[in-house]
Amino acid sequence: METTLILLKPDAIQRGLMGPIIGRFEAKGLEIAAAKLMVVPRDLAERHYAEHKGKPFYDGLIRFITSSPVLAMAIRGVSAVAVCRKLIGVTHGAKAEPGTIRGDYGLSGGYNLIHGSDSPESAARELDLWFRPDDIVDYESTQRKWVYDPSDL
């Protein structure tokens, strides 16, 4: 099992898309292990997006992510990092495939609804930024044995 960081960005919250987006992760069989609605402090936004510092879109990105609440979630499953990135789609909403979250709900490159960690190493770093270890809940999911073949686990 892997755990990844998912952020529903300010546009997703303001557009009333939390339910439909969370529903996609649940329907896939992934598990919500933590969730926190919060206004993002600037220093957290800067640490989260440190790799993009200096890029032309960086200032706008920090302004956007701190402008209105986000829903931070820890999402768990086998290969959760890669599976979530696939469900999310490519960065620009207009280029993302239909069937993906960005492809179905977005048209923008910046206002693209959702963040997902891009590797297990990023996931570990980002989960540590957004959650205390105690916030991430380890529980017995009753559906797990019907989502996965025993050989998947």
Q: Which residues bind ligand DAT (CB under 6 A)?
A: 52, 57, 61, 91, 109-110, 112, 115, 118
Least separation in angstroms between CB 148 and ligand DAT: 27
Instruction: For residue 116, list its beta bridge partners.
Output: 6
- Residue 103's binding partner out of Mg ion, ligand DAT, none, with CB under 5 to 8 Å set by partner kind: none
Work out how close the CB of 118 gets to Mg ion at its nearest, in angstroms, rounded to a whole number.
5
List, in order, residues 6 or more apart from 64 with CB less than 8 Å away. Answer: 9, 10, 11, 110, 111
Q: Which is nearer to Mg ion, 5 or 33 (CB)?
A: 5
With CA atoms as reference, report the closest residue to 141 among 36, 17, 10, 3: 3
3-state class (DSSP) for residue 136 = coil
Q: Which partner in Mg ion, ligand DAT, none is near 109 (CB below 5 to 8 A by kind)?
A: ligand DAT
